[in-house]
Amino acid sequence: MASPHRQHETLNGQDAAALVAAGAGIFALGLATPIGAWLVTARHLGYTTARPLLTAAAFALWGIVWLTLRRQWRTRSLKAQNIVLLAGALILLGLLLGTPIMAWFWPSIHLP
């Protein structure tokens, strides 16, 4: 028996842009931890400077990605599963990078 035709769910471009931008913002915030650790440990930047700067940069990136994708995908419909999985993968990576796990592997590292 032939398998029934499966219709893919779609998201409008505006909603998809919000989801992907959230993933990108969280990934950037997670990335702030290893980058900040490198700045503080290797470049001797003060932790009170490194973290706020990197956080502000991550927020700026979130806004830029949201506005750019919102404009580019305004008239498009995107496959919902792909968008949600992409955003989910970025969020998971961001959460993982944001943990202080590297301090257990490199005890001499300074986290901002």
Partner 1 sequence: MPSLAFLHGVVLGLPLVVLTALCVAYTGRIGKIRPWWHGPRPAVLRMAWAGLLTLAWVVPVSGMVLMYTDPSRWLTPQGTWQSLALPWMASWGMMVPIVITTCAYLAYSARAHTLLPVWFRRALWSLMGLALGIVLLAALLGSMTSQGLFYR
Residue 99 as a binder of partner 1 (CB under 8 A): the answer is yes
52's CB contacts (< 8 A; 6+ apart) are none
Q: Is 93 in the site for partner 1 (CB under 8 A)?
A: no
Q: What residues form DSSP beta bridges with 11?
A: 78
Residue 38 binds partner 1 (CB under 8 A): no
- Residue 48, classified by CB atoms within 10 Å of its CB into exposed (0-12), middle (13-18) or buried (19+), is exposed
Phi, psi of 77 (to 5 degrees): -115, 130
Q: Is residue 77 part of the contact set for partner 1 (CB under 8 A)?
A: no
The Cα diameter of the chain in Å comes to 67
Per CB under 8 A, the list member of 13, 39, 62, 90 interacting with partner 1 is 62
Which positions lie near partner 1, rule CB under 8 A? 9-11, 14-15, 18-19, 21-22, 25-26, 29-30, 32-33, 36, 47-48, 51-52, 55, 58-59, 62, 80-81, 83-84, 87-88, 91, 94-95, 98-100, 103, 107, 111-112
